[in-house]
Amino acid sequence: MARYLERFYVISVILLLAVVFFREFVNLGILENLETVTLIMVLIPGVILAKGIPFYMSLGSLILGHFLILKYNMAYTIWLEGITKNLPLAIVFLMVPVLSIPLKEGGYLQAVNYFISKYVAKTCSLFFALSSSVFGLASIANLGAVRVFHDLVEEVNLPPRFLAKVYSTGFASCMTWSPYFASVNLVLYYTGVSFNSYFLPGFLYGLFLLVLGNLLFYKDRQCQNEVRLSAHKIDEPADSRKKLYFLVLNLIGLFLAVIIGEKFFAFSSMMLLVSILALVYAVFWSLGIKRFKEFLQQMKGYDQNILQVKNEMVFFLSVGFLGVVLANTPLKGYIEVFFKQLSGYYVFIVIEVIIILIALLSVVGIHHVITITALGLSLKAQVLGLSDLSYSLTLIASYTISMILSPFAPFNIIAGGLLKENSFVVSLKWNRNFAIMAILFSGVFITLVNYLF
């Protein structure tokens, strides 16, 4: 039974993708109805197939959202807006992993592995090299980069606590600016800020977080000693430097493709642009390294990738639905009243309150996407005395720090599984200091952006 349900889910997802992208080029009224029907065909089996925390949060969001719609007698248009609100974001999760195919087929991982082992004795240099590599690769492969990197470094035998710090520093730093991340796409989508205007301050913020994580490791002598005692070197593969240079060029090309694409193509959502660019770039990348046959073979089995991200897809669709519904209840007024009372305080205080509130709620199990969706749809930057850009940075900082600190965040759950450690230890013990310092630094940085940009 489960096999047939999975097959139905995969077919429904592929049909949904076809309808969504066809609508971008052909304006037919019937396509909107078809999109809604196929989305329901994806959502129902997706919830049934979901497991763990995403299942309970998705089901709870859908039940609560429909209860509020009935309670406040909301119009069908609100239901439709809610059920489709995060559809572009869900599509990003489906299509961006295509980029991992040429990444694996190009032989880049072996080259990176050698350079990791080369700096084993120089622990601070090793931490910088690793966190910077995660910073670069995760910016296009998202959570997949953590899995890829863990496979990469297993042979070098690095301590779990060290790897947890590496992953959180590199991953958090790139999720503040990369167009291939849900955090950036979600917040810019809600606040209406363009990626081109956001990129520079977002990228600087990410670089500063990368530096902060490295400085904290520089002070951690105990962790440095653990690395020296546990790791070992490996042999250098052929053409390692050439492969690394080519990898860096491809990373740069991906970002340029998004920036140029936003100027020349009028997609209804930048997330759809990012999704289609991921597929096109992966094709040309595979052609460039003469691995197109391997690319096609991997694509034949892409139904497994669709099933692997079913939890994320259903979760984002469900919490987007709940966020839209909450924004049309009296809760919106309460949120505005509460934050209007804060608007008389210093901008730094307002920013810190938002970040800490969202982070604390995420720690106790209220996912930050739900809170950020509610705030993004209910509250305008001007109410807080912030610019649209600094408000976007505040929400993205909240998303990032919640990801570091919450044991329920997908990043900590995945990292904990790979490191064979509880997600509570990874988040609240090993990465606690990084999260606390990031909260303080974020307030200072965003305050400066509010005055300078």
Full domain range(s) for residue 69: 2-94
Whether residue 164 is found in the same domain as residue 286: yes
* Last residue within a domain, chosen from 94, 120, 149: 94
Whether residue 66 is found in the same domain as residue 117: no
Whether residue 33 is found in the same domain as residue 160: no
Looking at residue 238, its pLDDT comes to 67
Whether residue 126 is found in the same domain as residue 256: yes
Distance (Å, whole) CA 84 – CA 90:
10
DSSP per position, 54-78:
HHHHHHHHHHHHHHHHHHTT--HHH
Whether residue 424 is found in the same domain as residue 281: yes
* Last residue within a domain, chosen from 94, 111, 131: 94
Whether residue 62 is found in the same domain as residue 176: no
CA 24 to chain centre: 24
Looking at residue 325, its pLDDT comes to 86
Instruction: Count how many domains the chain has.
Output: 2
Structural contact between residues 44 and 22, judged by C-beta atoms closer than 8 angstroms: no
Amino acid at 204: L
Whether residue 114 is found in the same domain as residue 170: yes
Distance (Å, whole) CA 237 – CA 314:
41
Whether residue 298 is found in the same domain as residue 438: yes
Whether residue 113 is found in the same domain as residue 31: no
Closest CA to 217 of 137, 148, 126: 126
The token duo for 43 is 């959502």
343-348: Cβ within 8 A, 24+ apart: 343/383, 343/384, 343/385, 346/447, 347/385, 347/386, 347/390, 347/447, 347/450, 348/443, 348/444, 348/447
Looking at residue 173, its pLDDT comes to 92
* Last residue within a domain, chosen from 75, 94, 113: 94
Looking at residue 148, its pLDDT comes to 64
Looking at residue 236, its pLDDT comes to 66
Q: Mean pLDDT of successive 10-residue segments in the chain (453 residues)?
A: 87 93 84 90 91 82 92 91 85 80 76 70 83 80 67 73 92 87 81 88 94 93 82 65 79 80 79 84 90 89 84 83 82 73 78 91 79 79 87 93 85 79 86 93 93 82
Structural contact between residues 399 and 316, judged by C-beta atoms closer than 8 angstroms: no
Structural contact between residues 434 and 404, judged by C-beta atoms closer than 8 angstroms: yes
